[in-house]
Amino acid sequence: MPQLDTSTWFINIVSMILTLFIVFQLKISKHSYPMHPEAKTTKMAKRLTPWESKWTKIYSPLSLPQQ
């Protein structure tokens, strides 16, 4: 049984650890699993952003003072 010859064990184990614990895990972790396609509501989600709560006069370009 050449498997029991311990002179090659070190290189075997080191290369296995490199492959299994680093290369494979890095590759598998990069997989992206898309969501299932499902019907979404067409209404825009209401955003709670205070700076967009009202359209103030200063933001309207037409109401800016004429240069």
Partner 1 sequence: MNENLFASFATPTMMGLPIVILIIMFPSILFPSSNRLINNRLISIQQWLVQLTSKQMMTIHNNKGQTWTLMLMSLILFIGSTNLLGLLPHSFTPTTQLSMNLGMAIPLWAGTVFMGFRHKTKAALAHFLPQGTPIFLIPMLVIIETISLFIQPMALAVRLTANITAGHLLIHLIGGATLALMDISPSTALITFIILILLTILEFAVAMIQAYVFTLLVSLYLHDNT
Chain residues in the site for partner 1 (CB under 8 A): 1-6, 8-9, 11-20, 23-33
Q: Judged by CB, which is closer to partner 1: 36, or 57?
A: 36
Q: Judged by CB, which is closer to partner 1: 12, or 59?
A: 12
Q: Judged by CB, which is closer to partner 1: 29, or 66?
A: 29
Residue 14 Cα distances to 8, 11, 17, 21, 52, angstroms: 10, 5, 5, 10, 58
CA 4 to chain centre: 45
Tokens of 56: 């103030």
Tell the smallest beta-carbon distance from residue 21 to partner 1 (Å): 8
